[in-house]
Amino acid sequence: MLHLYRAWIHLHAMDFPGVLEICDSILPSLGEPVRRPWRRFCLALTGSAEAASGRYEAAADHLTTARIEMDGRPVIHDWYCRMLLEQALTDAWLGKGDLKQARAEAERFVAATLTTAERTWQALAWEASARVAMAEGDRGHARTCVDRAVAAMEGFEVPLAAWRVHASAAELESRLGNQRAAEHHRSLGRSTVLALANSLGDYERLRETFLAAPPVRAIIDPGRD
């Protein structure tokens, strides 16, 4: 369990090789029925790291396996793991350019989060839907999704979602020609990213990995190549 939580931290810090190293080392030991909740979490983390690394086929294999296990024999905490799984599947299909599948997964992601009180996940689900809508060229739906993501965060401290929401909001505003609004969102996202990076002060290598990740770099310094 502690190894998986460590892998989860590395996932948020954008250290995808680190996630895969941890998960690959423990997945073979998680096959017993009593440990299946942790096996599913491990598969979801692995698929998330694979998707973020651009290995979409491998990601789909791990994530589909986890979904089949959840659907076939539900166990405690599946509801939480399913949100991570839907996020990763949305990213995988979006990365592959299959917008129809990406939209379907994004809708499942939103539906899964709205049955919970998890504001971080609700904001992330609407943000993922906004990215899909932008890829489809549907700026109206993207606007709706961004607005709902922002609304989900209001009154809550949700930094792991906030920087992503503000990054996508900035991209949408920039596409719409609203540069002042775009810079406002970039500023909010930048502040959140730097606060998260500072929380890794005792883990310098992980902090550097996070700050060097392309999505993070893009919001810190959007003019940088």
Residue 32 — pLDDT band, cuts 50, 70, 90? low
Q: What is the dihedral of CA 80, 81, 82, 83, to 10 degrees?
A: 60
Predicted pLDDT of residue 221: 85
152 contact partners, CB below 8 Å, separation of at least 6? 119, 122, 123, 126, 158, 161
The radius of gyration of the chain's CA atoms, rounded to the nearest angstrom, is 17
Task: Give the pLDDT confidence score for residue 225 in this predicted structure.
Answer: 46
pLDDT of 46-101, one tens digit each?
A: 999 999 999 999 999 999 999 998 888 888 889 999 999 999 999 999 999 999 99
Instruction: Please check whether the domain covering 1-114 is classified as CATH 1.25.40.10.
Output: yes
Tell me the percentage of the chain whose pLDDT exceeds 90.
87
pLDDT value, residue 77: 85
DSSP 3-state percent helix, strand, coil across the chain (nearest 5): 80, 0, 20
Residue indicated by tokens 């491998």: 58
**Residue 156: pLDDT over 90:** yes
